[in-house]
Amino acid sequence: MVTYCLNTSTIRPCPLIDKIRVAAEAGYQGIELWINDIYEYIGRGGEARDVQQALADYGLIVPCMIALRNWGEPIGPEYELALAECRRRMELAARFRSPYVVATPPREPCPADQLRDRYRDLLAIGREVGVKPTFEYICFFASARSLADAWQVVRTIDDEDATLLLDSFHNFNTQSTLGQLTEIPLERISHYHVSDGGRNKPAGQQADPDRVMPGEGAADLVAEVRHLKSRGYRGTVSLELFNRELWERPPLEVAKLGLERLRALFEG
Each residue's pLDDT tens digit, 47-73: 999 999 999 999 999 999 999 999 999
How many angstroms separate the most distant Cα atoms in the chain? 52
User: What is the domain extent for residue 49?
Assistant: 3-267
Q: Compute CA distances 43 → 38, 55, 62, whole Å.
A: 8, 19, 22
Instruction: Check whether 189 has a pLDDT greater than 90.
Output: yes
Q: Supply the pLDDT for residue 117.
A: 97
The pLDDT score that the predictor gives to residue 261 is 98
pLDDT of 268 strictly over 90: no
Residues contacting residue 232 through CB under 8 Å, at least 6 positions apart: 186
What is residue 195's three-state secondary structure?
Answer: coil
| DSSP letter (8 states) at residue 249 | S
- When the pLDDT of each residue in the chain is averaged and rounded to a whole number, the result is 98
Model confidence at 25, pLDDT cuts 50, 70, 90, reads: very high
**Number of Cβ atoms within 10 Å of the Cβ of 121:** 15
> Which pLDDT tens digit goes with each residue over 65-96?
999 999 999 999 999 999 999 999 999 999 99
| Cα 189 off chain centre by | 11
- Rounded to two decimals, the pTM is 0.97
Q: Are 29 and 4 in contact (CB under 8 A)?
A: yes
Domains in the chain, number: 1
What is the pLDDT averaged over residues 114-139? Answer: 98
Residue 200, domain CATH: 3.20.20.150
How many CA atoms does the CB half-sphere of 31 hold within 13 Å? 31
Bridge partners of 33, per DSSP, are 65
